[in-house]
Amino acid sequence: MAQQPPYDGLGHLNHLTPLQLESLLTEEPTTRFWLVEFRTSFLTPCIQASSVMPELSNLYSNKNISFGLVDLGHFPNAAARFGISMWDHLPTYILFDKATEVARLPEIGNGTKVFVPKVTKKLLCHHFDLDRRLIEFLST
Protein backbone atom coordinates (compact mmCIF):
# COMPACT_ATOMS: atom_id res chain seq x y z
CA MET A 1 0.00 0.00 0.00
CA ALA A 2 1.35 3.43 -0.94
CA GLN A 3 1.86 6.04 1.73
CA GLN A 4 0.02 9.33 1.38
CA PRO A 5 2.21 12.35 0.59
CA PRO A 6 2.69 15.13 3.15
CA TYR A 7 0.05 17.84 3.15
CA ASP A 8 1.04 20.69 0.86
CA GLY A 9 -1.96 22.99 1.22
CA LEU A 10 -2.38 26.66 1.83
CA GLY A 11 -1.31 28.35 5.02
CA HIS A 12 1.06 30.91 6.44
CA LEU A 13 3.76 28.29 7.04
CA ASN A 14 7.28 29.41 6.12
CA HIS A 15 9.49 26.63 4.73
CA LEU A 16 12.90 27.39 6.23
CA THR A 17 16.47 26.19 6.02
CA PRO A 18 18.29 25.96 9.36
CA LEU A 19 20.33 29.02 8.40
CA GLN A 20 17.19 31.03 7.62
CA LEU A 21 15.70 30.01 10.98
CA GLU A 22 18.86 31.06 12.83
CA SER A 23 18.78 34.43 11.06
CA LEU A 24 15.10 34.98 11.84
CA LEU A 25 15.66 34.21 15.51
CA THR A 26 18.84 36.20 16.07
CA GLU A 27 18.83 39.17 13.71
CA GLU A 28 16.43 41.92 14.79
CA PRO A 29 13.32 39.74 14.80
CA THR A 30 10.23 41.16 13.16
CA THR A 31 8.10 38.57 14.94
CA ARG A 32 8.41 37.90 18.66
CA PHE A 33 7.37 34.23 18.58
CA TRP A 34 8.14 31.49 16.07
CA LEU A 35 6.45 28.10 16.31
CA VAL A 36 8.57 25.76 14.21
CA GLU A 37 7.84 22.20 13.15
CA PHE A 38 10.82 19.93 12.55
CA ARG A 39 9.88 16.89 10.45
CA THR A 40 10.82 14.64 7.56
CA SER A 41 8.72 13.73 4.58
CA PHE A 42 9.39 10.00 4.94
CA LEU A 43 8.19 9.19 8.48
CA THR A 44 4.54 8.24 8.89
CA PRO A 45 3.90 10.34 12.05
CA CYS A 46 5.22 13.43 10.24
CA ILE A 47 3.05 12.79 7.20
CA GLN A 48 -0.03 12.19 9.35
CA ALA A 49 0.52 15.49 11.19
CA SER A 50 1.51 17.52 8.12
CA SER A 51 -1.82 19.37 7.80
CA VAL A 52 -1.88 20.65 11.39
CA MET A 53 0.65 23.51 11.16
CA PRO A 54 -0.75 25.08 7.96
CA GLU A 55 -4.21 25.06 9.55
CA LEU A 56 -2.90 26.61 12.77
CA SER A 57 -0.97 29.22 10.82
CA ASN A 58 -4.18 30.29 9.08
CA LEU A 59 -5.85 30.83 12.45
CA TYR A 60 -3.04 32.27 14.56
CA SER A 61 -0.45 34.01 12.33
CA ASN A 62 -0.08 37.69 13.15
CA LYS A 63 2.68 40.25 13.73
CA ASN A 64 3.47 38.59 17.06
CA ILE A 65 3.68 34.91 16.02
CA SER A 66 4.87 33.21 12.86
CA PHE A 67 4.94 29.57 11.85
CA GLY A 68 7.83 27.71 10.24
CA LEU A 69 8.84 24.29 8.99
CA VAL A 70 12.32 22.79 8.78
CA ASP A 71 12.54 19.53 6.81
CA LEU A 72 15.19 17.47 8.58
CA GLY A 73 15.16 15.05 5.65
CA HIS A 74 16.93 17.80 3.70
CA PHE A 75 18.96 19.13 6.65
CA PRO A 76 19.65 16.17 8.99
CA ASN A 77 22.59 17.90 10.71
CA ALA A 78 20.19 20.52 12.08
CA ALA A 79 18.55 17.91 14.32
CA ALA A 80 21.49 17.85 16.74
CA ARG A 81 21.61 21.67 16.85
CA PHE A 82 18.04 21.71 18.18
CA GLY A 83 18.36 18.59 20.39
CA ILE A 84 16.13 16.42 18.20
CA SER A 85 16.49 12.68 17.65
CA MET A 86 15.78 11.80 14.03
CA TRP A 87 14.26 8.46 14.99
CA ASP A 88 11.99 8.94 17.97
CA HIS A 89 11.30 12.68 18.35
CA LEU A 90 9.65 13.51 15.03
CA PRO A 91 7.72 15.58 14.43
CA THR A 92 9.08 18.04 17.00
CA TYR A 93 7.56 21.47 17.61
CA ILE A 94 9.55 24.26 19.27
CA LEU A 95 8.24 27.67 20.29
CA PHE A 96 10.90 30.38 20.27
CA ASP A 97 10.57 33.77 21.96
CA LYS A 98 13.08 35.69 19.86
CA ALA A 99 16.10 33.33 20.00
CA THR A 100 15.12 31.50 23.21
CA GLU A 101 13.30 28.19 23.25
CA VAL A 102 10.32 28.51 25.60
CA ALA A 103 8.38 25.30 24.92
CA ARG A 104 8.74 22.06 22.98
CA LEU A 105 6.68 19.03 22.04
CA PRO A 106 7.62 16.29 22.64
CA GLU A 107 9.51 17.40 25.70
CA ILE A 108 13.05 16.10 26.11
CA GLY A 109 13.27 13.18 28.54
CA ASN A 110 16.16 12.73 30.96
CA GLY A 111 17.44 9.45 29.57
CA THR A 112 13.93 8.04 29.46
CA LYS A 113 11.90 7.12 26.42
CA VAL A 114 10.11 10.14 25.02
CA PHE A 115 6.34 9.87 24.64
CA VAL A 116 5.19 11.40 21.36
CA PRO A 117 1.41 11.97 21.40
CA LYS A 118 -0.76 12.04 18.29
CA VAL A 119 -0.42 15.58 16.98
CA THR A 120 -3.68 17.52 16.68
CA LYS A 121 -4.61 21.20 16.41
CA LYS A 122 -6.10 21.00 19.91
CA LEU A 123 -2.91 19.51 21.38
CA LEU A 124 -0.65 22.17 19.84
CA CYS A 125 -3.03 25.02 20.74
CA HIS A 126 -3.09 23.90 24.35
CA HIS A 127 0.61 23.03 24.68
CA PHE A 128 1.82 26.33 23.17
CA ASP A 129 -1.02 28.45 24.60
CA LEU A 130 -1.91 29.85 21.18
CA ASP A 131 -5.33 31.20 22.18
CA ARG A 132 -3.83 33.30 24.98
CA ARG A 133 -1.06 34.58 22.71
CA LEU A 134 -3.62 35.62 20.09
CA ILE A 135 -5.80 37.39 22.67
CA GLU A 136 -2.76 39.23 24.05
CA PHE A 137 -1.85 40.37 20.53
CA LEU A 138 -5.39 41.53 19.78
CA SER A 139 -5.56 43.38 23.12
CA THR A 140 -2.50 45.53 22.41
Q: How large is the average pLDDT for residues 7-22?
A: 83
pLDDT given for residue 68 in this prediction? 96
pLDDT given for residue 6 in this prediction? 52
Q: What structural domains does the chain harbor?
A: 13-139 (3.40.30.10)
The residue type of 58 is N
pLDDT tens sequence across 75-131: 999 999 999 988 778 999 999 998 899 999 998 766 556 666 789 999 999 999 999
Region for 91 from its dihedrals, namely left if φ exceeds 0, alpha if ψ lies in -120 to 50, beta otherwise = beta
Q: Provide the whole-model pTM.
A: 0.88
Percent of the chain predicted with pLDDT > 90: 64
The Cα 132–Cα 128 span in angstroms is: 9
The Cα 133–Cα 14 span in angstroms is: 19
DSSP secondary structure code for residue 113 in this structure: P
Burial of 70 (0-12, 13-18, 19+ CB in 10 A): buried
Please, what is the average pLDDT of the chain? 87
pLDDT tens sequence across 55-74: 999 999 999 999 999 999 99
pLDDT given for residue 117 in this prediction? 75
The Cα 134–Cα 112 span in angstroms is: 34
Q: Of residues 68 and 5, which shows the higher confidence score?
A: 68
